[in-house]
Each structure stands twice: as C-alpha cells, then as structure tokens.
Structure 1
Amino acid sequence: MKNVLIMICCACLLGACDKAEVSSIYSGPDGIHFYYDQAGPFDADPYPNSSETGSLSSSEKIDTLWYKIDIMGNVSEKERKFSLKQSVLSSMDSSSYYTGIATVAVPGVNYVAFDDPRMEEYYVIPPRTSSVLVPVILLYDPKVDYGSSFSKSFCLHFEIVPNDEVKILDSRFYRGKAKFTQWSW
C-alpha cells in the first residue's frame, strides 16, 4: 500500500512538472567586464596566472598575455563585438596606474595595437557565451635604449570600450594591466 501511494505521488509530481514553464529568471542589465580574482587594485591581470609578466629577448621576439572577459546578463543568440584601447590615465588618476620604473608601452612598437586588424577576431563574443579570452601580444623592440642595464620594463594599461551592444557591467572591472620586460640578449 505504501509503495502504491509513493508511485501515485511521483506520477502526479512528474505530470505537474511536465507542463511547468520557467519565466525569465534574470532581468538585470547585460554587459561585460574583466575577470577579477586578486586583492588590491581593480585592474585585471593575465588569466589564469595573475602573477604572470611578459618577457621578450632577441631570441623570443613575441610573447602573449591572455585576459579573461566575463559576459553577464541575458543569454544572447547573436554575435556581439567589443574593443579595447590603451588607457590614457596616469598615476594622478589612480594609484593602480603607477608604473614605477617601467616605461609606458607604445602601440605597434611594444605590443600589437588594439585597433590593428589582426586583433579584430579576438573582439567577438559568440552567441551563448559566458566568457572570452583576449590576448595582449607583446613585441620586441630592437631600438630600445637599455642604458647601463640589461633589461627594460614596460607597463600597459588598457580598458574595454563600451558600445551600443556591449556595456560595462561593473565599472570597477573594465581595466587591465600588462607588465613585461625586454632583455638585451
């Protein structure tokens, strides 16, 4: 008798679940921001290893640091595009923009410029995607003046550029930072 009651209850529950419809669960804004997993300044570091820095030499002329961008909000059925740009802020704007002894990186010289056509393929968010990885491609500059040192440090601050399709979801996490060293050998 007990088994019969359990089977009847299960059948009723299965029948009820068959016709249930889930309404839209999320109704907030859509947007993107850099994945952020460290304490301190909010500028995103390379993913997955936030302590990673780039390294270039005459034998290793290219290095790539990857950054994760999270896509938040409603599921999109269409492809969307975004872009990055070098930040023009300085240490006067934010303590996280202090470069120390590092030189500010120059687009097309120390890294592949964000508006370079080769980078466009990385600025696409496929449909039904919750994150994308975006590279910062570092370049060896043969004209670097090392002075009395064997290396020169560079720093690049960059940010997501919002557009009509893609907004910045969390204004604390729209910037990234790349640190790298070029060696004289």
Structure 2
Amino acid sequence: MNKKLEVMKRLFIIVFLFCLGVASCHYEKPEFYEEGDYIQFYYSNLINKDTNDRKTAPLNYPYVNSNRLRDTAWFRLQAVGMPAKKDRLVRFEPYINKADSNYITAVPGVNYVAFNDPEIQRHMIIPADSVYMNIPVVILYDAETKGSIALNFQLVPTDDFELGELTLRKGRYSYSNY
C-alpha cells in the first residue's frame, strides 16, 4: 500500500508540474511603437577624433578626374520607427561648414548633381516596408575647380520623417579635383 501511495504521489507531482508549465506558457505580444518616424544616417561605428561625434561615412569612396567626369558616393540611411506600407520621401540640403576653411565648398551643378535634380530625386525614397536605403550623391569633375572640395549636406524633415539623432543628421564627402 505504501508503494502505491508513493507512486500516486509522484504521479500527482508530475501532473501538477506539467499543468503548471502549460499554464505558464503564453504568447507575449510586443508593445507597439507609437512615436513618430525618424530618418538618420546609418551609424558607421566611426568616431570623429576632433569632436567625438559619430561619423556618417559613405559606403564607397568614388573619385573624379579628367578621364572620369562623374562618380557616385552611396550613403546609407536608416528609418527609425515602424516600416510603412508606402514609399516615403527623404530630402537633403547642402550647408556650409565653417570648419572647412581648407576646402572649397562644393557648388551644385558644378561639383555635384543638385539634390533637387530629378536624376537624384527619384532615388530619395525609402521603399515601402523598408527601414534602410542607400542614397546616391553624384560628384562631378570640373576642370575649373582645383583643390580639395567638401560637400556638406544634411537631412531635412519631410511629411514622412522627422529628424533622427542629432549626431546622425549630417553627411559629408570630400574629394580632390586635380
């Protein structure tokens, strides 16, 4: 009789633990992101040694010269927030960096294809259901411009995006034109 009671006790414990395990398993629904959508340059793990800011580097380093009149630098953008079911517009605008005193400021249409040019505008879109996109910056060779050229540009808020992290809002590409 004792042996039967011992087996029943063990069976009861096993059944109890099984029921407890099944009852404790439930599907955890993720919390929904309810803030706005932000756009920023993709963090490239590079640090600017002068300012300790994170650098936004292109994915490649193109060059131009008298034999190669144009080339494209690709900058990776990241949308922060939920992917959208529609294409979303991104915009750049040039700005002057006063710290670039050793560089010639790039001129749209002369040293690069302007950001409002239709050739570039068709690429300034984050496709539906995407959060990453490579955006082209087309640099041009100009025989009249000699020296190191700096193209500084920044993201601009649109109807689709607010600006993301402060240190990831600006892009820069510098190159030599000899």
**Residue 160 of structure 1 contacts residue 175 of structure 1 at CA under 8 Å; is this kept in 2?**
yes
TM-score (structure 2 length as normaliser): 0.77
| Counterpart among 152, 157, 160 of residue 162 in structure 1 | 157
SS in 2 for 1:69: strand
Amino acid at match of 1:44: T
Structure 1 pair 181–74 and aligned structure 2 pair: CA distance change class (3 A): same
Partner residue, 2:170: 175
Counterparts in 2 of 1:63 and 1:171: CA distance versus 1, 3 Å: same
Identify the residue that residue 35 of structure 1 maps to in structure 2. Answer: 42
1:100 deviates by 3.9
Q: Give the structure 1 partner of residue 111 of structure 2.
A: 110
Q: CA RMSD for the aligned pairs?
A: 2.7
User: Which among 60, 66, 74 is matched to residue 66 of structure 1?
Assistant: 74
Larger Rg: 2
Letter in 1 for 2:167: R
- The 2-side partners of 1:26 and 1:113 are apart by 35
Q: Which residue, out of 56, 60, 67, partners 1:44?
A: 56
Give the Cα–Cα distance (whole angstroms) in 2 for the partners of residues 65 and 23 of structure 1: 38
Measured in 1, the distance between the counterparts of 2:81 and 2:87 equals 15
Q: Deviations over 1:113-150 (max 9, x none)?
A: 10000011211111121211111101111333x4xxxx
Instruction: Identify unmatched segments of 5+ residues in structure 2.
Output: 1-9
Q: TM-score, normalised by structure 1?
A: 0.75
Distance 1:115 1:30 in 2: 23
Native 8 Å contact 1:112 1:138 kept in 2: yes
Following TM superposition, where does structure 1 have runs of at least 4 consecutive aligned residues deviating by more than 3 angstroms? 11-14
Higher relative contact order (CA 8 A, sep 6+): 1
What does the per-residue CA deviation read over 1:47-106, in whole Å, with 9 as the maximum and x for residues that have no partner?
2x5xx4x4211111112111111111122112111211111x432xxxxxx224221010
Q: Tell me if the contact between 2:97 and 2:152 (Cα under 8 Å) persists in the aligned partners.
A: no
CA distance in 1, matches of 2:177, 2:110: 12
Aligned-partner Cα distance in 1 for 2:136–2:82: 25
Q: Is the 8 A contact 1:29 1:169 kept in 2?
A: no
1:128 aligns with 2:140: no
Alignment size in residue pairs: 162
- 1:21 CA displacement: 6.2
Contact 1:112 1:137 survives alignment (8 Å):
yes
CA spacing shift, 1:163–1:111, aligned 2, 3 Å: same
